[in-house]
Amino acid sequence: MLRLLTAGESHGPALTIVVEGLPAGVPVDRAAIDADLRRRQGGYGRGGRMKIESDVVEILSGVRHGATLGSPVSFVIRNRDHENWKDVMSAEPQPPEAKARRALKRPRPGHADLAGALKYVTDDLRSVLERASARETASRVAAGALVRGLLDAAGAQVRSHVVRIGAAALPAGPPVAWEALDRIEESPVRCADARVAEAMIAEIDKAKRAGDTVGGVFEVVVRGLPPGLGSFGQWDRRLDGRLAQALMSIPAVKAVALGAGFEGGELAGSAFHDEIFYDEKRGLHRGSNRAGGLEGGVTNGEELRARAVVKPIPTLLVPLRSIDLRTKEPEAASVERSDTCVVPAAGVVGEAMVCWVAADALLEKLGGDSLAEFLDHLDASRAQWKAFLEKR
């Protein structure tokens, strides 16, 4: 139902975003979009690029008087650093010295440099890394913030928090309560436990002193999604698969788990699955939520919880071994401006991707050319669920 296209290079003039499929009448709060972009740029362990950029969106189409028109919405996010890269990133032919000024010929292990060079048969690694850069995730955050207007209208809220950075992690036990996530931005590492947050900061500082980087784990939590989103009718319509693909598409994410995730491989079925209860006060509910709000690829009405593992960023101040791609001689890998840790920021990108999948699933089930029609369909579905549960 929804379609997202992004374009733009890390040091090009701008990032461009086109969103197609939103109903007319969805509220658009440009200040809220910019606030999400700032959250993406924040977090302890970020590098020098974040001191240059101050991301804001310019809305070019599809929005009038603070609401969507039903036509494609387009944004741009200007790259302020482009001023220093005009010749290197020019769309027009340039003299050889412009190409050589920011040339990279020593691929960095863990980046797309070498894989992209082999794919496109080029020894100009700049042509690979500019689009492969995680700078593109600013586009996704803008798109995710846009569709939050639809989720808000449907009563769904999305939060994220950091579970682990390096060796510092939240203790095993019950999931972090939703109320704690409302205060998560007060933490420089976006962790709900202040003592664990201090240990996470120490992990980042230790890596920075060593010229190294550190990864971790974030969790995205969604409250208020109705049951019945997604489908087990075909493999590619299962919502858990769609969420995993969306989260795995974030640069540096190497694994995704829903609910208790990998813990499920360690427990007996009797200890893992979420028992079902019903009473007049709470209605239909579960005693636990190890499934993460999804069963059979379909939402079951519980909180949706998804975790993602973020690898250490591969640009190191003390570079790894590589080769000169032209001479094939051993060389240290190239060094670009980088971060020590991106886990807190990656959680914000994860929110955006989960927002996108959730909004797409809502529109898939409920449809509607306008927000009013969409909400009418949602009310009708809720009435059906209520009538079903009240049958004797």
What pLDDT, in 10s, does the model give residues 29-86?
999 999 999 999 999 988 765 556 689 999 999 999 999 999 999 999 999 989 889 9
Q: Cα dist. 232→241, 367, 388 in Å?
A: 11, 19, 21
Q: What is the rounded CA–CA span in Å between residue 17 and residue 77? A: 8
Given this model, what pLDDT does residue 253 score?
98
Rounded to the nearest 10°, the torsion over CA 354, 55, 164, 115 is: 80
Given this model, what pLDDT does residue 104 score?
86
Given this model, what pLDDT does residue 53 score?
66
What CATH number is given to the structural domain containing 237?
3.60.150.10
Q: Cα dist. 210→111, 150, 300, 319, 326 in Å?
A: 20, 45, 46, 11, 30
The set of residues, in sequence order, having a beta carbon less than 8 Å from that of 78 and lying 6+ positions away, is 13, 14, 56, 58
Of 231, 288, 241, 228, the closest CA to residue 260 belongs to 288
pTM of the shown model: 0.95
- Measured over the CA atoms of residue 258, residue 263, residue 265 and residue 270, the dihedral's sign is negative
Given this model, what pLDDT does residue 97 score?
83
What tokens does 371 get? Answer: 């927000």
| Residues spanned by the domain of 108 | 3-390
Number of domains in the chain: 1
- Which of the residues in the chain have pLDDT under 70? 48-53, 392
Q: Give pLDDT tens digits for 252-278.
A: 999 999 999 999 999 999 999 999 999
Q: What is the rounded CA–CA span in Å between residue 341 and residue 50? A: 13
- Please give the helix or strand (H or E) that residue 286 lies within, else none: strand 283-286
Given this model, what pLDDT does residue 392 score?
62
Backbone angles phi, psi at 261, to 5 degrees: 55, -125
